[in-house]
Every structure is written in C-alpha cells, then in structure tokens.
Structure 1
Amino acid sequence: MAEVTVSQLADVVGAPADRLLAQMKQAGLKHTSVEEGVSDEDKQILLSFLKSSHGETTEAPKKITLKRKTLSTLKTSGSQGRKTVNVEVRKKRTYVKRDPSELVAEAAEAERLAAGEGLSDAEMDSTVTSEVSADASVGSLQSEQQLESKPEIRSEEEMVLVVDEPQDRSQMDPEVLRQQAAVKRKDREAQDKVAQEAALAARKADQARVESVKTAAAPAPSADDKPVVRGRRHDAPAPAKEEERPEKKKTRSKLAPKTRGKNRTHNIKNVDAFIDSDGLDSRGRRRQKVLKLPEGAKTHGFARPTDKAVHEVAIPEAILVTELAQLMNLKGVVVVKELMKLGIMATINQSLDQETAQLVVEELGHKAKLVSGEEVEEALVDTLSEHEGTSSPRAPVVTVMGHVDHGKTSLLDYIRESRVASGEAGGITQHIGAYHVGTDKGMITFLDTPGHAAFTAMRARGAQSTDIVILVVAADDGVMPQTEEAIQHARAAGVPIVVAVNKMDKEGADPDRVRNELAAKDVIPEDWGGDTQFVHVSAHSGDGIDNLLEALLLQAELLELEAAADIPAKGIVIESRLDKGRGSISSVLIQAGTLKKGDVVLAGQHYGRVRAMLDENGNPIENAGPSIPVEILGLDGTPNAGDSFAVLDSEKHARDVAEFRQIKDREDRQKRQQTAKLENMFANMGEAESKSLNVVVKADVRGSLEAIQSSLLEMGNDEVQVNIISSGVGGISETDITLAATSNAVVFGFNVRADNTARKIVEIEGVDLRYYSVIYDLIDDVKQALSGMLSPELREEINGTAEVRDVFKSPKFGAIAGCMVIDGTLLRNNPIRVLRDDVVIYEGELESLRRFKDDVNEVRSGTECGIGVKNYNDVKPGDKIEVYEVREVARSL
C-alpha cells in the first residue's frame, strides 16, 4: 500500500486528525504534523497499540459462543376467533478450548487411580467412594473430553412465545394457553430425559471404573481355588433337604432395612452416592434433601428463665389496673387478687391512685418509680427551649376591639380593600379573623374579634395573643359595655391601646365626649398628658387611616418586637373548624420560628402533620414566618381557640403528649363531676328537683361553639338550667339526632345543617331541631324556653276590706257580722282573713254575703252588708274582714 499522510489516514478511518496524532504519539510514533507520511509499518504499530488498548490479543480465542434464533407461527381457533401466535426459539452453544497440559495431567491421574499405585486399602476405598459421589453427568463429560481431547460443549435452548395479545391470562384464548402449556411441558420432559440419560451414563461409567480398580487390586487366583456357582463352591457339601434342615426362627435384624426390587442388594449408604449435584438419583428421580443438625446443637434456642424478672414500673398519678399489669408483664387477674389481699375491691378497668399502685408493685416484687404528672409537659418545655435562633425584627400583631356596630370590621375592611362585614350573618363578626396587610412602612397583622357580649372569651384570647390593641369607639355613640370589657382585657394582658374614634363623618359625631368618657376609664389621651394615642378616622370615607397605620408602626417601634425565624414554629391557635371534604382546618398565628409544609404540629390535645398550608385568601403556601396567620390541614381534631401549638421533631413525641393531655383532661373532668355530685347530694336533699333543658349544640367553628356554651351555661339559675349533653364542630349527624331523641333534647345548629339521614330521623322521632346564624337569636330563644319552664310566681291582691260593726245570731248560719265596706269590693267566692288589732286570727272563706235580705256576689265600698264566716263564730265588733285573691304571674330570667 502506498504511503499516505496523517490527514488522509484520518479521513479513511473517519477520525479527527488531532485525535489520530495523539494516538500515534501514545503508540510511540514520532509524527507531529498532519502532513507527515505514514508507512505500512507505522500502521501495523498503531493497529497493535489500538488492539491492546481495547483488550484484544492476537491469541486464538478460548471460548466461542454461537447463537441461533428461529421464528415460526401458530394459528389457533377459539371462542374469540382465529388468532396468530408467534413462536421464537433461541439456541445457544458455547465451545470451550481446554489447555492440553491440563488434559495430559488429568489422564495421568486417572491412570494412576485406576492402577491403585501408591494407595493403601483404606485410601483406595475412600477414593472410590469420593469418585462415586461426584457429579456423574459432569464427570462423564469431562472424562470424554480428557480421552478424546475435544472441546467442552455447553448448549442452551430457549423457546419464547411472542403473542400479539395482552399478557393478561384471563383475557387470552384458552387454545393459546393450552399450546403454551404444551410447549413448556415438552421442554421440561426433554430436559428431564437428558438428565436421566446423563445420570445413567455416569452410573455405568462409575461402575466400570470401580470394577476395573477392584480387578487390578485383587490377588491372582491359585490352583486350589474353585469357581463359585450361585454363592457356593463346587467342593462344598450340598445343602440339606427341607426336612433335614434344623428349625430356625425367622428373624430379621431391626437395623437391616427391608428392600424390594432389583436394587435391594445395594446398601442405603450407596444409594446416596448415586445422587448427583442437581438432586437426581441414579434413576433420574428427584430426591428430598434431609438437613442434619451438627453435633452438639440444640433443637431450639429457647431457654427457660431461672430467675424472676424484676421490672421497673413507672407509675403516674393515676393508672388503670390493666395498664399496671401490662407494665409488670402480668395478667390483670393477678393484680386484682393482690388488691383483694390488701382489702381493695377493684376491677381491671378501675383507676388506682399512685400510692395504691406503688404498694401493689412492691408486693409483687417489682420496683416502683413514681412519675409526676407534669413530667411530660416539663420535658416538652425543655425540648422547645433548646431551640435558640437568631432574633430579628417582626411585624406587630394588632387586635381590633370595640362595641357592636362601632365599625371594627368596616375599618379593617377599608385597610384590606375587601368586604368582610357584608358576608357576616346579621352584619356582625362572629369569628376571629386574621389578616396580614402590607403597607408602605411595613407589614401589620390584624386580628378582628367579635364585639358581641357572647364573645367575651374570644376577645380575651385575642388580647392575649396580640402586641397592640386598637380600641374602636363610635364618635356618635361613645363608650359602651363591650368597650369597657375591651379596656379590661387589654390591661389584663398588658398591651398598649391605640384609640380609633370612628364615624367622624356623621353629623352627630362628638369626639370630645369620647375623650371624656375614656378619661373616666383611665384611658388618658396624649394631648391631655396621658400615654394613649387618639386618632380620628372614618371607615366609610377612609379619612385618618394613614394616621392610624403610622400610630401603630410608631407604637411597634417603641415595643422593639423581635422573633427568631430559624427555629421550629410555635404560636397560638386562633380558630378551628371541621370541613366535610378537607377535615380539620385550624387557623394559627405564628409567634416565632418558621412553619413548613410537612412539619409535625402539636396543638392542645391534637396533633398531626401539616398536609397543606393556606394564607388568609385561601392560596397555598409552603412556609410562613413570625407574625403570619395561616390555615393548616392535617390535625386529627379541632383544637380549642387559644391553645398553643408547636412543631416537634417526631410524630411519636407529639402523639404521646397529646394522649397525655387527653387523659389528664378526662380525669380532671371526671373529678369535677364527682365532686359536684357529692357537694349537691346533701344540698338538694329534701328540695324540689331542679329542671333542666337538654340541648345538643353543633357549630361551624370552635370559637363560636365555646361562646355559645359559655352563654348557655350562664343563663340558668337554681330552679332551671341548661344541660349541654353534647357539643362539637361540624355538621349535624345521625348520632347527634339519636342522642337528642334518647335524652329528650333540643338540637341547635349554628351555621351548620343536618344531613339527609339525620333529617329523616328528625321527622320520625319528632326531635326539635333549630338552625341559627346569629348568636343572640339562639340565646333569646333559649332564654324564652327556660322562662317557660319556671314555675309561676303567686301574688296576693286584696280586693276589699270590711269593718265589723255588730254581731247578730242566726239559727241557720250562726254568728252574722254586720259590716261596713271601707275599702275596695268584697267578692263572695274569694278567700278571706279575719284580723283583730291588725293581726290575722283566722283564714277561711265566706259562707254568706247579703245585702239586706238578698244574697249578693259583691259589695262595693261604702255599703253595709252581712257576712257569715264559714266554720268560725268568734267574730267581735271592731274586727276587720279582708277579702283577697291569689294570682299567678309568669316569671322570666
């Protein structure tokens, strides 16, 4: 071949010239330019280098694998019509070339073993046994390769069915399934046949090898030896006849197994020698492998304990008998028996105090460890206090308070540029709303609390979770009862107040009156020498809103509000409700840290993982920092408004604390109920039983439910009271209606409705079900119902008074008093009293009332009459007869 340049060679091989030059340099060639020529010798050097770098050698291959694939088509007919099945058969055969030196060495070793050279009898027997127990099929193939010096052949055959239908066997045609099964069965039978033939060949080869070894090792026969026919020699005496043989008891050794068939002469140990490595015996049958334990091994690993296990039992302030038994790994009956020995009759579901439980534990031989009921809470506080982040300024949390209809929500409406009050039932706010508003000078978080008297507790929670309070007072209305309550809550929480004098655009606005009334409540304006900022605003026109925001931010600067954002979040629950589609939804205010989606949250007696997090507009967010109100989904219940929440490291820790709080709350509630029963047991003895109105209350949010409950419980007196048998958040269910029907209760639904099943039960059972959207409508109806349950008040009204002037005797009526009516009118059918010296001496009724000789029903003032007192004749002149009437007057709360 003619000499070519490097660039021409690169074009021929299809590689870049720079890369080819680098490879030539690595091969040891001295080419540096693409224009230099390349000889045939250089090409051979480069080719050898490239082959060696890619792992290729010039030696002949030791293994060659041949593959062949054949395709065929099967046409089938079935219930679903004719179908076509593609059958693909893949065959693979591998030829391995062995080293001639290995073949010569193996042949020499085989000849030495066959001749038995240099081996003792014991070694020869062990050699024969090991050879027989080797893999027969592989041994036979290797012996053939050693003798004939042929390469080893390994063949594989695989049949693949390619079906143009779905692989779901339930949808395949039965004919296709039968053909597939037939192909698999034939393949399996062919494999079994090959294995059996290989095993038989190996067996024959091994028997021939053993016979040859025994023949070579046996001594040469002598002249005295005679052939043995049928197990006896020719010169041996003939066996005795049947009658000449001595009687021998037919016995068989218990150790010798009874064998049948043509292989009964083989020993059982020899049978295992014909099992190959695949688990096939000499006849190609598969045998079960018996696992044998090593010598000295035990049948099981269980060891009976020798000493009694002593447990350290942690005993809380109250524990059930069953829980105490579980802590000691005992049955509850054992603990009950021990209690009976101590003179305490208790069941397994009864609660024990700490001292009794400690005594039982010590009597049963265990160690008691007293656990304080507050250890869980203390550990939680320690865990939360470990997180110390870097403090940074945060936005102020502002609570808007004031009387009803003084413009709190309207003022916040204008700031948020929304319409919240228009969507509230009755035009009042009945939930705590939380919003954060971005201004030009910073962000402010607002909490809008209800102003109605029923939401006192909710307003108190709002004051405890805020930094600044905006006290909204209408300029045309002045200070009202709820305004005074807001001032008290703000002072109790130690929160500064900023007064917003609203409705300044009205004609009757009088801001001086507001200042004077607030000054009387110790809320002194700054221009009067006090420390409270007064801002005149109008929620309708927006006047003074900027001044109000500036006053809030100025107050926040004075407070120097800070919080760490790089720690797990903690804060307070603002509100919670139950949504039918999304479950429990809780509105929380983050006071420190950052809350993220997926965090484990503990809120009061409930816990859960944050599945979703929404802002006040319902938009999903991933995280939120301090002073940001959010809604979280994922808690296992609805926590109470005002409960604190915190992010914990594990769900197990949160669950333990929540369960502890639930148990403690249940125990405290039971103690209060028992105490109340004991206190009222003797107080109510001998008195008329008080009447109660049973109610079931369901509300949309937890805050409204608490406000309704507190209002209803405060409504009763000693004679009538409200008994809340069930309450909850969410819609009215079948269980609520059934409970109300059983206890004869009234069901109140506040902004919730009953489902279809519950409504059917209401119609059948006749349960009183009432819906409300304004809280004071519900309170008015309950108050009216309680008033109707009160017994009426009895009032006496004196109708008339007559003075006795003289007494006459009558044979029919006895003493007749001649009287002059001095006051009112005497009515015959009314009861009377006889007074002497203004002291009542007799109470009774009139027997006769006459005017002259006529019986009359009434006698007016200034008229004379004759009066006969029934069953009383000791009437004297100067006495007074008083006629009165008892009337029933309805009472009200």
Structure 2
Amino acid sequence: MQKLMVLLKHSQLFCTYSYPFNSICSNVINVGTYRQLSAAKFHTSSVIWKRRKTGEEKKVNRILEYPKVKGEVVEVWNNITAEELAKVLKKDFNYIRDIFLDEIKSPKTVISDLKYLQQGLRRSGRRMKIIANPSNNKEQIIVDKDVFPRPPASKSELKSRPPVVTVMGHVDHGKTTLLDALRHSSVVEQEFGGITQHIGAFSVTLDSGAKITFLDTPGHAAFSAMRARGAFVTDIVVLVVAADDGVMEQTLESIRMAREAKVPILVAINKIDSPKADVGRTEQMLVEAGIQIEKLGGDVQAIPISALKKQNLNLLTEALVLQAELLEVGADPSGPVEAVVVESRLDSNKGKLCTCIVQRGILTKGNILVAGTAFCKVRNLHDAEGKVMKEVFPGYPVEIEGWKDLPAPGELVLQVETEKRARDVVKFRQDKLDAEKLEEDAVMIAEKRAHHEKEYYERLKLKRSLGRYKLKNDGPRKPEIPKDDDPTPALNVILKSDVDGTLEAVLNALDTYDQDGCKMDLVHYGVGSVSETDVELAQIFKGIIYAFNVNCNPNIMDLAENAGVQIKFYNVIYKLVDDVKEEINKRLPEKEVEEVVGEATVLQQFEVNQGKKKNPVAGCRCVKGTLRKSAMYKVIRNNSIIHIGQLSSMRHLKDEVDTIKTNTECGLQLLDKTITFEPGDSIICYQIKMERQTTMWDPGF
C-alpha cells in the first residue's frame, strides 16, 4: 500500500475505492499511473473518477486494493486465533491487529473466514498454507508413529498359562542348585565359580504335571538391575535364604524389589543339612525383615529344604502350584504378541539373540517385533535347551533369532504389521531419544554459558572499578595449548561381554570407581567377541581388553600380540574386578611412609661452647629401638611436634657415634641450633620409605 500511495501522489483524477472491511479512502490518480498499476496485476473493484475542470464523472469497475505478493509462506489452520497467528508470524498482537485494520479486538478472537485470513496475511507480505491444527493432531501423530500395548484383556478372554516364578536371594544361598534339583539338570556345573552370570529363563514340568516358568536371577550385588527386571515380569517370587547364613544384604534387596513389584513371596529356607543351620534363627530374621511367615502368625509360606540333597522339594512345588491357583494367572492368547526381554546376547553363528517371556498373543516364525529401538523379523524360535519351537504361548520363555539390533533387557516387545511399520516406530523412538538428549545438552550449555557470563561481568566490574589501573594479564589471552601428558595415571579399559545383561552388571561394578590417585576410562564396550577394531582402540589408548565369557579369534590374538595389547579373559565378575584393582595399583605412584626406627626421652639440656656461641644439646636416653645419626628426627612436647629435622652431632660420652642402642644415654644436637629442649621431651628417630599404594575402591563385593 505504501508503494500505491506514492504512485497516487501527483494524480489528476479523484479515485474513491472501498475495502471489503467497509473502510473508505480517497486518493488522486492519473490515467497513465492507473494503466501502469493495472498492468501490475493488482486486485481491483469499482472506482468513480472525475476531471477537476469539467467535473465530468466516469465509473471504472476496477479498483486497486492490494498486490499479489510472493513472500514467505506461513502455515495456518482453520479457526486459528489471533494469538496463535501472532506466534506463527513471530510478532506481537498489535501487529496482528494492524494487518487486519483494527478489526481484531482480542487475542482470543477466532479467525474462521479463510479469505479474511488470506487478505490480512497479504497485507503483511506473506502467503498462507492450510494445515491441520497441530494441537489437535499432536497426540494422533504419536499414536500413528509409535506402537503401544493393547488395553488389558477382559477376564472372559483370559486362558490359563504357566506362572512365572523368579528365584531370588543372596549370593551362594543355593538358588541355582534349587532349580537344578527341580528340573533334574546340572546348571551349577556349567556356571563359573558357582555364580549365575546372567538370567536363565526356562520352563519346568513338575512331577505333578504342572508347568512353571522359572527365572534364575543372579544373587551377586553387581546384578541388582537384572534382579529388578526379573521381579517385574514375575507372578511369584521364591526367596531362597540359607539356614546357616540367615538374612543377608542381597536378601533384603530382593524383598524390597518384590514388594515394589507387588508380587507374592514364598520363602525357601535352604541348606537345612548344614551343620551350622539354624532354621528358628532364620525365621526370626525374616520376621525382623518384614516377612511374616505362617509359623509365626503371618501369611507367607516358609518351607525348610535342602536343594543339594533334594529334601522337601515336593512341599515347595506343592506350595508353588497352590499359590499359582490362588492367583488365577491367565493371559490372552489372541491378537498381536506382547512379551518382555529377559536377556540379549550376540552369537557368532546365529547373530543377535534375545530371551523373552511371552505375555500375550502367540509368537510364531515370521512375526515382526519391536523392542525399544530394535526390531526383528523372527527367523527362528528356540527353547532353553536349544530345540526349535514352532509357536510360543503366553507364560513360556523363548530365544528369538533375527534381531537387527540387540534389545535391552527389560524392554517391552510388541508385534507390528510390517517391516516398514517397525522401521517407522524405531525411527520415531530414536528421534525422540535424540530430542531428549538435545534438551539435556541445551540445559548444560545454558548453565556453562551463565557461568562464563558471570565470570566475565565480575571481571568487567573489577576492571571498571580500577579506573586507569589495568588488571594484570588483561591483554589478549594466548590460546591454551592442551597438555599432552596428564600427570595423573590412567587405566583405559575396553570391555566385551557375552550378553547384554552381564555387560550391564560389569559396567555397573566399574562405575562405582571414584578414586583420585588413578583415573579409569572406559574407552569402548559391547556385546560379542573381541574384534580388530577393539585391538586398534586398545593400541591407540594404551588400554587393556577384558573379554568376559567370550572367545577370541586366533588371528585377533596374533594381531594383539604384535601390537603389544593385553587381552584378559574372565568368566567370574569379582575376578575381573580384582584384576582391574591390580592394574590400578600398578599405576599408582609410590608414597612416602615414615618408619619409626627409635625413640629417646630428654633427661636434661646441656649447653656446649662452639666458637663464641653456646648451643643446646639434649641429654637423652634411648627408650625404644635404635637412634641413627643419618635419620630424621621429630621433637615432641606435650603431644605436639615442635621441630622436624636432622642431627649435627650424636655423642656417647665423649665419642662421636653413628648409632645408639636401647637403654643407652647420649647427647643429641640438632642442625637447627635455635631449638631448646625440656626434660620429658620425646625425640622420635624415623626414616622415609617409598611404599606401593593400593586402591581403596570397593565395588560392593
């Protein structure tokens, strides 16, 4: 409109034209200008003009309203409010009111006429594009792109399924031995050091014909996260407590996790055949821990057993079956599959595998599954013994083959229709995680920026307060050259493990390291065998490769040997941690340690003439050990050290000597002649030794 008004400035015709908003304005325009503007493709309507001299009037059915702009395209929607439009245009409400010629009175005014909206946007030099209302479609977009579990099934749709029983308890209380006895296998012989390294999920058919799915969770402190996942997918928790040990730290933790999961507990008091077994004491400890057992007036069954000698196992299984019947566990076998990842691992022949427990639907070969940011097309299904399964019903464990990436233990597995749908879900979830990480990074950046600005303004304030006096080093700062050699020793670790859950447990153990003497940096970690890339990283960072329960190709071993890289193999977690401790101890610098050699008591102070001065000499008796002239000495008075230094003279009678033995009197003169002595002072003779340090790191076991 501003251009239009400039063109109308020196016209010879009166031009009266009206806007659709009933606003009338009059301007003067000449014919040549009018033709020029008409050719410029302006919107027009009726106009009445007349000559000044003759007063002749003529009606022209074209009027100059506003130009067809080619400006920025903005996205708007039906029934947009003035406030929302201001946010879209990144302007305030006054701007919106101006482009609509003061017709908009409130920010909450709804603009329902799209033509009216288009005219206002053209006045602002913009074009519009109609889209759906984002506020209405935001939730729908999430529903369309992500996948969620179905609503709970009605009671009429539920069918009977095997209960999922989790065995928990303290390390070495006999959990795996109990499962070994129940399924007549030899799991303990296959484990390293008698410690369960990852969750075992398998189905057991009892002598009564009842089927139960068992989860054997590790009892070690480092596997607390894995035990927590076991508790949240289970129907019943069997708490194994040794009769000779009673309630221990991990026992209390297992009780807490079972209560958080709101899962009923059944207690198995194991090792009743041990000479130190005390069932009564164990029951009392359980009551003190909050487990009200039936024998003492509670509602929790506590059954004394011996897993090693298979005593009272029938009582335990009957209690399990009874508890399952009371719970009336069931699942809906129809519809898309829902399951929970118990464990994931990388197999050199089969690829990426994960152990799941089906919770809903029937899992078959060819199903498309999504778990977190991983998906798979089921290639094969195996049971705990490696046998191929055609279909898996709810309540049964299964090992799934065909994952594109390893899903994290504890993730919910959901079935989708196609691979394209699975990729869309994974991409959406990954983008969401990336966005959350960006937000966290933005907060950290803002905090650092605020810190730097605070320092800058404080320095600026000080500089201004000094006036003509300048701050030292106030000129342009030289760029700091990063130091190549950090004086703090460091241990660089590369960790490879057999399964994801065990890897997490080892990482949690290493994450507890918080000592200052030596840094420990985790360069890389992953599931699977040691690769050539791992060796290259270890060579670059001068690190050590820890292979936990995985093998290494002979070619990789030769490559590591030629590169001077250590590969250490372990299959028991506490042995791996002990080796890490030893490596840290090797890197810690030696420290100075005072070793007391002897001690003397001052009997009297003498003064001897040396030149023109009289210098003090302590007349002493050695009461402990040996005094050596070359050693260091402390003078202690009233339990306070008043001097530390060396001797200038040590005499026995009139002879200068190098050592004084116990119960021998002597005269001691310090290098510092200003120190005076009093009867009763203690003089400690000591020497400095360099001693190897040991780390105080305690990972919790």
> So what's the TM-score if we normalise by structure 2?
0.69
Contact kept in structure 1, 2:145 and 2:424, CA below 8 Å: no
Distance 1:868 1:477, change over 3 A: closer
Contact kept in structure 2, 1:600 and 1:648, CA below 8 Å: yes
Deviation at 1:706, TM superposition (A): 0.7
Residue number in structure 2 paired with 1:468: 236
Matches within 5 A, 1:477-876: 477-665=245-433, 691-792=489-590, 794-798=592-596, 799-803=598-602, 804-811=604-611, 815-821=615-621, 823-824=623-624, 825-834=626-635, 839-875=640-676
Matches within 5 A, 1:258-273: none
State which structure, 1 or 2, has the greater radius of gyration over its C-alpha atoms: 1
Q: Is 1:408 paired with 2:408?
A: no
Q: Is 1:421 paired with 2:188?
A: yes
RMSD (Å) for aligned C-alpha atoms? 3.6
Residue number in structure 2 paired with 1:393: 160
Distance 1:696 1:663, change over 3 A: farther
Deviates more, 1:500-509 or 1:703-712: 500-509
Equivalent-residue separation in structure 2 for 1:569 and 1:526 (angstroms): 39
Deviation digits for residues 434-459 of structure 1 (CA, Å, limit 9, x no counterpart): 11223436321111112222222211
Distance 1:489 1:790, change over 3 A: farther
User: What is the SS of the residue equivalent to 2:149?
Assistant: helix
Percent identity of the aligned residues?
38
Distance 1:610 1:797, change over 3 A: same
Deviation at 1:613, TM superposition (A): 1.4
Given residue 666 of structure 2, which amino acid in structure 1 is its aligned partner? C
Equivalent-residue separation in structure 2 for 1:667 and 1:306 (angstroms): 36
Contact kept in structure 1, 2:306 and 2:312, CA below 8 Å: yes
Deviation digits for residues 591-645 of structure 1 (CA, Å, limit 9, x no counterpart): 1222222111111221121111122222222221211111111111111111121
Deviation digits for residues 502-545 of structure 1 (CA, Å, limit 9, x no counterpart): 23344544322321221221212112111110123332343322
Distance 1:813 1:771, change over 3 A: farther
Distance 1:478 1:838, change over 3 A: closer
Deviation at 1:836, TM superposition (A): 6.0
Deviation at 1:814, TM superposition (A): 6.4
Contact kept in structure 1, 2:69 and 2:127, CA below 8 Å: no
Distance 1:387 1:505, change over 3 A: closer
Given residue 852 of structure 1, which amino acid in structure 2 is its aligned partner? L
Distance 1:554 1:483, change over 3 A: same
Deviation at 1:583, TM superposition (A): 1.0
Distance 1:311 1:432, change over 3 A: farther
Distance 1:506 1:863, change over 3 A: closer
Given residue 779 of structure 1, which amino acid in structure 2 is its aligned partner? V
Deviation digits for residues 643-695 of structure 1 (CA, Å, limit 9, x no counterpart): 1211112322322332343345456667778988988x99xx9xx97543211
User: What is the SS of the residue equivalent to 1:875?
Assistant: coil
Equivalent-residue separation in structure 2 for 1:792 and 1:599 (angstroms): 61
Contact kept in structure 2, 1:573 and 1:641, CA below 8 Å: yes
Which runs of no fewer than 5 residues in structure 1 stay unpaired?
1-304, 314-361
Residue number in structure 1 paired with 2:202: 435
Equivalent-residue separation in structure 2 for 1:881 and 1:373 (angstroms): 82
Contact kept in structure 2, 1:713 and 1:722, CA below 8 Å: no
User: What is the SS of the residue equivalent to 1:731?
Assistant: coil
Distance 1:468 1:838, change over 3 A: closer
Equivalent-residue separation in structure 2 for 1:510 and 1:754 (angstroms): 47
Given residue 352 of structure 2, which amino acid in structure 1 is its aligned partner? S
Distance 1:837 1:528, change over 3 A: closer
Deviation at 1:549, TM superposition (A): 1.8
Deviation digits for residues 398-443 of structure 1 (CA, Å, limit 9, x no counterpart): 0011223322222212222222222222233212111122343632
Residue number in structure 1 paired with 2:468: none
> So what's the TM-score if we normalise by structure 1?
0.55
Deviation at 1:741, TM superposition (A): 0.8
Contact kept in structure 2, 1:746 and 1:768, CA below 8 Å: yes
Distance 1:667 1:710, change over 3 A: farther
Deviation at 1:877, TM superposition (A): 5.3
Distance 1:580 1:382, change over 3 A: closer
Equivalent-residue separation in structure 1 for 2:571 and 2:244 (angstroms): 28
Comparing both chains, which one has the higher relative contact order based on Cα–Cα distances under 8 Å and sequence gaps of 6 or more? 2
More helix per residue: 1 or 2? Answer: 1
* Number of residue pairs aligned between Structure 1 and Structure 2: 537
Contact kept in structure 2, 1:793 and 1:888, CA below 8 Å: yes
Residue number in structure 2 paired with 1:885: 687
Deviation at 1:386, TM superposition (A): 6.2
Deviation digits for residues 325-374 of structure 1 (CA, Å, limit 9, x no counterpart): xxxxxxxxxxxxxxxxxxxxxxxxxxxxxxxxxxxxx9998889979999
Deviation at 1:772, TM superposition (A): 0.9
Deviates more, 1:659-668 or 1:422-431: 659-668
Deviation digits for residues 282-338 of structure 1 (CA, Å, limit 9, x no counterpart): xxxxxxxxxxxxxxxxxxxxxxx996794759xxxxxxxxxxxxxxxxxxxxxxxxx
Equivalent-residue separation in structure 1 for 2:125 and 2:352 (angstroms): 47
Given residue 772 of structure 1, which amino acid in structure 2 is its aligned partner? Y
Deviation digits for residues 481-514 of structure 1 (CA, Å, limit 9, x no counterpart): 3322222221222211111122334454432232
Distance 1:429 1:836, change over 3 A: closer
Contact kept in structure 2, 1:816 and 1:867, CA below 8 Å: no
Given residue 285 of structure 2, which amino acid in structure 1 is its aligned partner? E
User: What is the SS of the residue equivalent to 1:426?
Assistant: coil
Residue number in structure 1 paired with 2:118: none
Deviation at 1:576, TM superposition (A): 0.8
Deviation at 1:806, TM superposition (A): 1.4
Equivalent-residue separation in structure 2 for 1:516 and 1:848 (angstroms): 70
Distance 1:751 1:556, change over 3 A: same
Equivalent-residue separation in structure 2 for 1:756 and 1:701 (angstroms): 22
Contact kept in structure 1, 2:538 and 2:565, CA below 8 Å: yes
Residue number in structure 2 paired with 1:454: 222
User: What is the SS of the residue equivalent to 2:282?
Assistant: helix
Distance 1:414 1:761, change over 3 A: same
Equivalent-residue separation in structure 2 for 1:741 and 1:642 (angstroms): 35
Deviation digits for residues 767-818 of structure 1 (CA, Å, limit 9, x no counterpart): 0110112222111111222233344554445532342421112239962504
Equivalent-residue separation in structure 2 for 1:673 and 1:792 (angstroms): 40
Contact kept in structure 1, 2:494 and 2:538, CA below 8 Å: yes
Equivalent-residue separation in structure 2 for 1:888 and 1:472 (angstroms): 49
Contact kept in structure 2, 1:792 and 1:891, CA below 8 Å: no
- What is the aligned counterpart of 1:384 among 127, 149, 152? 149
Which runs of no fewer than 5 residues in structure 2 stay unpaired?
1-67, 77-123, 453-481, 697-701
Contact kept in structure 2, 1:700 and 1:730, CA below 8 Å: yes
Contact kept in structure 2, 1:395 and 1:444, CA below 8 Å: yes
Residue number in structure 2 paired with 1:236: none
Distance 1:806 1:482, change over 3 A: same
